[in-house]
Amino acid sequence: MNEKDNIIIESLGVYLPTKVVSTKQALESCRKKISFPIEELTGIRSTRVAGDEEFAIDLAKRAITDCLAHSQYEPQDIDLLICCNISRCDGAGLYSSEPSTAIKLRKHFGFERALAFDVSNACPGMFTAIKVVESFLQVGAIRRALVVSGEYLTHLTRTAQMEVDGLRDPRLACLTLGDAGAAVILENSADDSVGFHDIDLYTAAQYSDLCIAKATDQEHGGAIMYTQAVKLAPVAVRHATAHSVGSVQRHGWSFESIQHLVPHQTSRKTLADMSKGVNQLLGRIGWAQSITIDNLAERGNTATTSHFVAIADYIRKGKINSGDNVVFSIVGSGLTVGTALYTFDNLPERLRRSEPPSQLRKKSLHNSEELSVLRNPMWGRVSIQSVGTVPELWSGRRETVALAKAAAEQCLAESHVEPADVGLLIFSGVYRTDFLYEPAIATMVAGTLNISAQVEAHNDKKTLAFDVFNSGLGFLNGCHVATQMMFNDSFKTALVVASEVENNGPMCPEKPRGVAETGSAVLLSRSDDERRGFGNFVFDYHDEYLRDFEVNGVYVGGTSFVRVEENRSLEDHYLECIPLAVEKLLRLEEIDISQVQWILPAQRSSEFISKLSERMNIERKKFVDVVRPGKDLFTSALAHSFQHLLSHHKTKPGDVGLLIDVGAGIQVGCAIYYF
C-alpha cells in the first residue's frame, strides 16, 4: 500500500436545543434534597435540554442539516453514513431497536449511495466511527463519509431525579448531562499538512463495569446510568494523559506547536486533573491549563458529541483558526481511551461565514456507480480462521455477555490465536439483557475474556472493542468493517461476536421478538492463501419498505419489553430484494451463480429458505439450513451456518460460498467467500 493520506473534516454541524436548564434547577427537581456542590465541582452552570417533541434522532437530523449547510457536498455524494449516539430514545418512552438510526437517516436525507449502520462505543463513539471511516477512506473503498450523533440525555436526568438518594449515589452523574447533536463530513485531504495526523484508540477492558447505562428496575421506568466516579475518574485521567502525551511525542510534534488540548468534557475537576497530569509528565508548570478547552459551563457532558460541540463553540468565538494544531484526548466507559492529532485547514473561517457555500457546491456524484457495487480493494484476503457458537441445549445463563463469551471462548479454542493477540473485537447483537447500551458490549466481552484487560503502558498489546448495531445485518457489517480495518494494516486479527436475548418474558403483554437466545463468534485474520477468504461485499437498500418491520423498547406497567410491528408482506419483500443484491454481487465478483457451491442464507425459517431457493431458481441442497424451529438465528445465522459446513466437512478447497443476510429497513447484505 502507498503512504496513507490524512483525512480531513470537510464540514462540521452542531445542534443545541434552545431550552436552558440550570444545575440548580436540576437539583431542585430531585425528589430527595441533594445538598451537594455539583456546580462548584463540575463547573457546569447549565445544560441545553431538548424540547418536548425533540428526541435523539431529531437532534441528529438537525446536526446533519447544519453540517450539509456548510458543506460543498450534497446527500448523494456521501458514501458511508455512521450514527453513533448512545441514547436511542426516539420518542416519549420509545427506545429504537430496529431499523438502526443510520438507516432511518439515510432515507430522511436521501443518502441514496451510502452504506449505513450504527456504531456504539459510549462517549468515544464519534471517534470510534471516525477510526472506521479512516480505514474505508484510506483503502479507497469510499470517497467521503458522514458521522453523526444525536444525544438526547434528558431522559436519564429525569430518571435520576426520581431515584438519586444521596451524595454517594452512582446515579448522580446523570444530573450533569446535556442534549446536543453533532455531525462531520470526512474525506481524504489533498494536503497532508492538515487533517488527522493520527487517530489511535484502545480498550482497557478491566474497567468496563465502572459506568453502565441500562433500563431502570424502578416502577416509573426509563433509563439510568450508574457511574462509580471515585474509581473511574483517576484511571481515566491516568490513561488519557499518558496516551495523549505519548501520541504527541511519537508523532514528533513539539508541545509549543499545539494550540488546543480538547479533553472529553465531564467535569472541571477532571479537566484540571488531566492538565496537572500532562504538566507533570512534561515537567512544566501551568502549560496544559493554558491550552485546555473547557466548554462545560453552559453545555455539561454531551457524551459522544462533547469534543465537537466544544470545537464548534470555540470556532464561533474566534478562538480556533486555520493552521491550529489540536490534541483530542478521548476517554469513556469501557474503558476506551484514545488520542487524535488534528491540524485545521480553513474550516474555522468557512464555518464563521454567515452565508452557506452554495456557490461552491461541486457537481453531485450521484450519477456514478453506486457505492454498494464499488469493488473492494484487495491486497490479499481476510479469512475466517475459526468459528464458535452456543449450542441449543447450552446449560449456561441466557444473558448477553455470557452467551457472547461462551461463543468467543469456543472460537479462540479452535484457533491458534491467544486472547491477548486479538487486535479488534466487534459485537453486533441487538437485543441485550436489561437493555444495556453503555458501555459497548464488546468491551465487557473483552473484559471477561481477559482481552486487553491489563493495559498500562504504550507498548502493551492493545485491543479496540466496539459495537456495530444494524438489525440482522449487523454481523455481516461487522465482518465488512473488520476486513477494511485489516486492509488498512491497523489490525492483524479481529473477533466478531454476537448474542441475542429475548426481552419479552412469559408475563409480557407483547409477543416475543422471536430471536434465538444464542451466541456466535468468528475469528478473522489475514489469509496466507490469496485464494481463500472474503471476496466482495454488497449492501443493498430498499427504503420504500422502511416501515415493514419496526421494534421499539417500551415501558408499561412496571415492565420493560419490546414492541414489534411487522408488515404481513415482510418476507415477500425480502424474497423480492435478495436476488437484486445477489445479481450485483455476482457481477462485481465476475462469477456466475453456477460457480457457487454453498449458499448461507438468513435463517428465518426452513420455509423461507425453500421459498428463496425457488425464487433464485437454485437447487435447495445448496442452501445451508440450520434453522431453530420458531426462532430466528438473526445476527448469529451466518456463524452457525458456517460452522455447520465446517463441522460436517462439507466444503473442499476452492468451493465458493454466497453469504446472504437481511435486516430491517429493508436491507440486504451479501458476500462471496472462498473456502
Q: What is the 3-state secondary structure (H, E, C) of 97-126?
A: EECCHHHHHHHHHCCCCCEEEEEECCCCHH
Q: Give me the CATH number covering residue 269.
A: 3.40.47.10
Identify the burial level of 180 via C-beta atoms within 10 angstroms of its C-beta, where 0-12 means exposed, 13-18 middle and 19 or more buried.
Answer: buried
- The C-alpha atoms of residue 485 and residue 423 are separated, in whole angstroms, by 10
Share of the chain above pLDDT 70, in %: 94
Same domain, 143 and 267: yes
3-state SS, residue 129 = helix
Q: Which residues of 386-401 are buried (b: 16+ CB within 10 A; e: fewer)?
A: bbbbbeeebeeebbbb
HSE-up of residue 553 (Cα within 13 Å, Cβ side): 26
Same domain, 92 and 229: yes
Same domain, 401 and 344: no
314 inside domain? yes
| pLDDT surpasses 50 at 363 | no
Same domain, 450 and 530: yes
Same domain, 332 and 397: no
At residue 1 the predicted structure's pLDDT band, cuts being 50, 70 and 90, is very low
| pLDDT surpasses 70 at 421 | yes
Same domain, 346 and 386: no
- The C-alpha atoms of residue 255 and residue 246 are separated, in whole angstroms, by 11
Residue 191 burial (CB count, 10 A): 11
Residue matched to cell numbers 431457493: 613
Average pLDDT over residues 275-296: 91
- The C-alpha atoms of residue 109 and residue 71 are separated, in whole angstroms, by 14
Domain that holds residue 543: 377-674
Same domain, 426 and 345: no
| pLDDT surpasses 80 at 358 | no
521 inside domain? yes
447 inside domain? yes
| pLDDT surpasses 60 at 369 | no
120 inside domain? yes
- The C-alpha atoms of residue 462 and residue 437 are separated, in whole angstroms, by 23
Per-residue pLDDT tens digits for 44-100: 999 999 999 999 999 999 999 999 999 999 999 999 999 999 999 999 989 999 999
- The C-alpha atoms of residue 361 and residue 354 are separated, in whole angstroms, by 16
Residue 557 burial (CB count, 10 A): 9
Enumerate the β-bridge partners of residue 526.
382
- Cell numbers that stand for 647 in this block: 463441522
Share of the chain above pLDDT 90, in %: 84
Per-residue pLDDT tens digits for 580-592: 999 999 999 999 9
- The C-alpha atoms of residue 499 and residue 406 are separated, in whole angstroms, by 10
HSE-up of residue 185 (Cα within 13 Å, Cβ side): 25
Alpha-carbon torsion (121, 186, 101, 365), positive or negative:
negative
595 inside domain? yes
Enumerate the β-bridge partners of residue 288.
none
| pLDDT surpasses 90 at 448 | yes
Average pLDDT, the chain: 93
At residue 379 the predicted structure's pLDDT band, cuts being 50, 70 and 90, is low
1 inside domain? no
CA 242 to chain centre: 25
Same domain, 340 and 381: no
Q: What are phi and psi of 12, to 5 degrees?
A: -130, 130
355 inside domain? no
Same domain, 510 and 606: yes
pLDDT of residue 368: 47
Residue matched to cell numbers 513539539: 254
- Cell numbers that stand for 156 in this block: 436519564
Same domain, 552 and 663: yes
Domain boundary among 308, 334, 350: 350
- Cell numbers that stand for 159 in this block: 430518571
- Cell numbers that stand for 234 in this block: 483517576
Per-residue pLDDT tens digits for 98-110: 999 999 999 999 9
Overall number of domains in the chain: 2
Per-residue pLDDT tens digits for 166-222: 888 999 999 999 999 999 999 999 999 999 999 999 999 999 999 999 999 898 889
361 inside domain? no
Residue 192 burial (CB count, 10 A): 14
At residue 356 the predicted structure's pLDDT band, cuts being 50, 70 and 90, is low
Same domain, 283 and 390: no
What is the longest distance spanned by two Cα atoms in the chain? 74
Per-residue pLDDT tens digits for 472-501: 999 999 999 999 999 887 789 999 999 999
3-state SS, residue 541 = strand
Average pLDDT over residues 597-601: 98
Q: Cis before residue 357, ω within 30 degrees of 0?
A: no
Same domain, 413 and 333: no
| pLDDT surpasses 70 at 359 | no
